Amino acid sequence: MQFQQFFLKYSVSGQQQEVVSSDFSVLDTAQLKLEFLLEELQGSRRYTVLLTPKVPMHLHDFYITVKMDYADTRGVYCNGFQSWTESRIFAGQEKLKRQMPLLRKIGEAYGDGLFYAYKNQPGLVHSWNYTYLRLPKKRIHFLGSLSEQNGYTIFEHNATAKHLKIQKDVQGAQVSEYYTLLDIYEAIGTETICFDGYMEAQQLKPIAAAPAIGWTSWYYYYTNISEKVIEDNIQSFVKEQVPIEIFQIDDGWQKAVGDWLNINEKFPNGLRPIVDKIHSHGIKAGLWLAPLACERNSFIVREKPDWILKDEKGDFLKIGFNPLWSYWFYAIDVYHEEVRAYLKKVFHTILHEWDFDLVKLDFLYGSAILPRNGKSRGQIMHESMQFLRECVGDKMILGCGVPLSAAAGTTEYCRIGPDIHLSWDFTTLRWIRARERPSVLNAIHNAIGRRQLSGKWFWNDPDVFILRKNKNILNFQEKYSLLLANLLFGHLLFTSDNIGEYDAQTLWWYKSIFPLMPVKDAQVSYHDGFYTIHFRIKERIFLCLINTGDSVKRYKLPDNLYYDNVEEKLIKGNKQIELQGHASKCLLLVGHTPFAIAGSKGHFFAGTEIDSIFLSGNKIELEWAEGLIQDVKVYIKVPLDYPVETVNNSEDFKRIDHKDYAIIEVEKKFR
């Protein structure tokens, strides 16, 4: 990177000062010392800007402009502000616009519109925490912040002006001692090398949890849950012998948002008996709450208005609008001592008296919309998450509606995408440019775009997949695309469907996700709404195609033999195939080798039901994967002149001869 100039705005004793310079040697004045450090690492660089104030000061703004050539760039990845914000590859002349004026007051509280100045210029996009440029030869130019604890870092790309602005959101920070303004990790190389280096530089601790499959009540019942609804759904999993690991009760159990110790009348026996029932089946119990928010009908508004943050007019700080609640809801002050005492009591009750294992903490962004107490937004958000981690202790947190850097190291799981919509996209909110809108389209973008974080910052929760045929208007291909993206890159796999209402085919698809198969060596290409993904599970190699666009896309398959897990047939390559809008394919590479797994029907990822295949003379030995919960049919490709005598010491198999090879069909019953 070639630095151009830096800008620092601060005030001392109420007097505002500005420094603009292209001299990146040490700046030493009567009020401050500014140092610019460069550390050359193996294959990467680290840029650090250190501020030593000589007098107490308030910071207002700091940024560096960098000369950047976007001519050969194949797109810029922009990480959105929080969990729900659209995050994807942006093409060269795309632009990000502020929300439409009419609904801006409602929608902008969820994102960065209240404090980031959208420019509405072609080629100008921005990213939070980290970013990268896609380069030729499958390389990227990566930039990531290593100092988000004291303030967010924004990377603003201007492809037209050919420069990058690296800005620190320091507004509100009061400093009197050594302060890191920027700490940037830079690397150019393959995606894997760059992200591995970035994660290593952060010195992250291992995540104290594992990937999991579970159920949550929200997207089928919303707030219309009850003791009976919850117990009926628990029983459906028991009846179908589906081994989920987490059963989560979502919004609708409490009297009001903010009244977390008051269970509503729909749960006449309280929540502890339900938790005991969940535990009796070997399943962990989860509970939703929004600990840093309150709605108009809450006791906090009536009795504790001093707990609520105020805007510049002295009114309650609005952080969203929800017609399922009492419309507007507000942010509470996490630094208020009574608030902290109340939340500690809430978490002790939920986790130790009611005995929940996991809490889903939602709408967390609201605590840090306004800088205050001599702290920047980013510092407030990080300190809020540290406080919540302290309250929860060694139980598990699923973060949601939270800037992701603050969730790193403080949550076991974190939502990395928006709420699911019951159609492909929420067209009205898309029209007003709401980047945090419920959307299947953006959920897929975010699941793919933020895949590198999973297992490092936390385990990614891409939000639910939907398979049911009622109460939604998604077609099969759209449901399949969402499920595919979740299985590829999600590590907390939830649905909200009532599986007791599934027909046989839908239940088969649901059971096909067990066990969760680890995806390895994923290589992702993206252009014009079309994803091409190569990956490996065990020794099986797959090609995945996802068309997020609305129109038909064509793709030329390489000259090879593939198995299509939806159409359940072999496909010869070296030809073009078509994918309708919103459609996907997941193809197992069978290849030209004489012996191979040529497909299966049992697990979602064809062929992964087999751990190993051994040949001994004319005998075939199959080693089955653990955790399969439904019957499996496997197809083995063998040469035409290869006489198979037994499979796993049994003659119970079928042989089908084709022109160039034979297929051995083997069935295995697991339930």
Which range, of 276-280, 341-345, 667-671, averages the lowest pLDDT?
667-671
The three-state DSSP-derived secondary structure of 224-291 is CCCHHHHHHHHHHHHHHCCCCCEEEECCCCECCCCCCCCECCCCCCCCHHHHHHHHHCCCEEEEEECC
| Model pLDDT for residues 424-433, shown as the tens digit of each residue | 999 999 999 9
Beta-strand pair 293-295/327-331: antiparallel
Mean pLDDT of 568-590: 97
| Model pLDDT for residues 506-522, shown as the tens digit of each residue | 999 999 999 999 999 99
Query: Fold match between 2-201 and 212-516?
Result: no
Q: Which CATH class is domain 523-668?
A: mainly beta
State both tokens at 127: 């990213």
CATH number of 2-201: 2.60.40
| Model pLDDT for residues 63-84, shown as the tens digit of each residue | 999 999 998 899 999 999 999 9
Mean pLDDT of 41-68: 96
| Model pLDDT for residues 381-410, shown as the tens digit of each residue | 999 999 999 999 999 999 999 999 999 999
Is the pLDDT at 285 greater than 80? The verdict is yes
Distance, CA of 146 to CA of 48 (rounded, Å): 9
Mean pLDDT of 359-375: 96
Long-range contacts at 639-645 (CB < 8 A, ≥ 24 apart): 639/594, 639/595, 642/594, 642/595, 642/618, 643/618, 644/618, 644/619, 644/620, 645/617, 645/618, 645/619
Percent of the chain with pLDDT over 90: 95
pLDDT confidence of 636, banded at 50, 70, 90? Answer: very high
Is the pLDDT at 242 greater than 90? The verdict is yes
Is the pLDDT at 105 greater than 80? The verdict is no
Mean pLDDT of 485-490: 98
Is the pLDDT at 579 greater than 80? The verdict is yes
Residue 429 sits at the vertex; the CA angle it makes with 425 and 431, to the nearest 5 degrees, is 95
Is the pLDDT at 671 greater than 80? The verdict is no
Distance, CA of 426 to CA of 473 (rounded, Å): 12
Is the pLDDT at 101 greater than 90? The verdict is no
| pLDDT for the residue 104 | 74
What is the residue extent of each domain of the chain? Answer: 2-201, 212-516, 523-668
Mean pLDDT of 493-505: 97
Is the pLDDT at 343 greater than 90? The verdict is yes
Is the pLDDT at 569 greater than 90? The verdict is yes
Is the pLDDT at 2 greater than 90? The verdict is no
| pLDDT for the residue 670 | 87
pTM: 0.97
CATH architecture entry for 212-516:
Alpha-Beta Barrel (3.20)
| Model pLDDT for residues 447-470, shown as the tens digit of each residue | 999 999 999 999 999 999 999 999
Answer whether 377's CB lies under 8 Å from 152's CB. yes
For residue 619, what is the enclosing H or E element?
strand 619-624
| pLDDT for the residue 542 | 98
| Model pLDDT for residues 168-222, shown as the tens digit of each residue | 999 999 999 999 999 999 999 999 999 999 999 999 999 999 999 999 999 999 9
pLDDT confidence of 655, banded at 50, 70, 90? Answer: very high
| pLDDT for the residue 42 | 84
Answer whether 108's CB lies under 8 Å from 99's CB. yes
State both tokens at 223: 């707030």
